Amino acid sequence: MDTMIRRFKRTALLLALAALPALDAFAQDIKYNVLFVAVDDMNDWIAPFGGYPGIKTPNIDKLAKKGVIFTRAYCSAPACNPSRASLLTGVRPSSSGVYHNNQPWRPVLKDAVTIPQYFTANGYEVKGAGKIFHNAFNDKASWPSYFDVPKSPEPPKAPVNGFAHFDWSPVNVQDEDMGDYKVVNEGIGFLKDKHEKPFFLAVGFTRPHLPWYVPQKYFDQYPLSSIKLPKTIANDLQDVPDAGVKIAKPKGDHKFIVEHKQWEKAVQGYLASITFADGQIGRLLDALENSEYAKNTVIVFLGDHGWHLGEKEHWRKFALWEEASRVPFIVYAPGLSKASGVSERTVNLMDIYPTLTELCKLPAKKGVEGNSIVALLKNPAAAWNHPSITTHGFGNHAVRSEQYRYIRYNDGSEELYDHDADPQEWKNLANDVKYASVKAELAKSLPKNNAKDAPTVKEGKE
């Protein structure tokens, strides 16, 4: 009888343990895998970040419910090359001098160890597919295995509505014909394989980068009659210093859009491209979910910078305002991150490197400029005192606290916006003496060092 009772208790204990949430890799000292998902030019219009009402991003929505979304996440630089180079090396633009897309980063960061290199050196199997670094400056040293960015179809007669690659139009093709679809196939194949070592898989999506050419069915989801233009006001640049107006270039893209009555069509093209990208992201996430690695794989999802669609009479990125610097950022760490977590703390893409090394129990990488957000994954409302810094060009910086955005240009001119009262950044408070102490406090976070511009090459596509 005693033996039967002991067996019964042991069975009950095992059943009880089985009913508990799976012990996470973090607690068991098992190495996490990493799925690193980078999306080009995707701003905060996706559903979890509330930027555009009615946008269709069901797969990103699903990921947001699984992990923690950071509603105040920002890029280190509002351009592909400096943003990606900095987050992948852990070296800020102001420390490297890599500020723009036409500055190769490796010549000035010869000894930098990128995230994939560091994971390789620490025993991980590493693979990259699609756009991870800026296309022109992909780093062969970072990838033991890499699948390059395939070309996507274009309309027979391009440009259709815009000029050069600043263009938008449906293309008469299937999803399978698109470059991002083929990139995802590489990721899916990798996740189906058996891996003896923990892995770091990076998958980069090109859309919604220009040109906005995706299959017709995605345009059909956003009829022109239902398109909502961004909230704008007349003369928004009136209180912006000359340095900011020069960046906005109101007589460039925006003048073309307005004069050719393309605003609704352009917004439609951007929305269609986001929803196309979401579908491909869903294929990748479903493959992970259906693999043997679902329960011990960290997912990092990010946009490399924001995007303007007419706010402040500006288009594209390349600016220090909220639209250009705010990014979608979601992190899931099995058994560690809070499901459906929402953190309002100011974080930066520079925080990815130290976060991943801590999550994966790798030695902390020396010299990395960023702050681990592991504490925020556990408790999204945890105390945090790290304003987020975005840099665009030599000596031009924005400091973002939870309430304010402070911009100081290289010529000393300034902008200050109170996001509690003015989320659209319509009223520049920099010249109001009442905010002198606010500016002084935020200025403490400006980079102390401004590296000289790295050498440039002839610039190709963004």
Give the count of beta carbons closer than 10 Å to the beta carbon of residue 438: 18
Active-site choice (75, 100, 134, 308): 134
Active-site choice (80, 254, 314, 360): 80
Largest CA distance in the chain: 90
161: tokens are: 């509505």
134 is catalytic: yes
Dihedral sign, Cα of residue 224, residue 228, residue 233, residue 236: negative
Q: Look up tokens 């009136």; give the residue.
A: 238
Q: Which residues contact 206 (CB under 8 A, 6 or more apart)?
A: 40, 130, 131, 149, 152, 179, 180, 183
75 is catalytic: no
242: tokens are: 């000359």
The set of catalytic residues is 80, 134
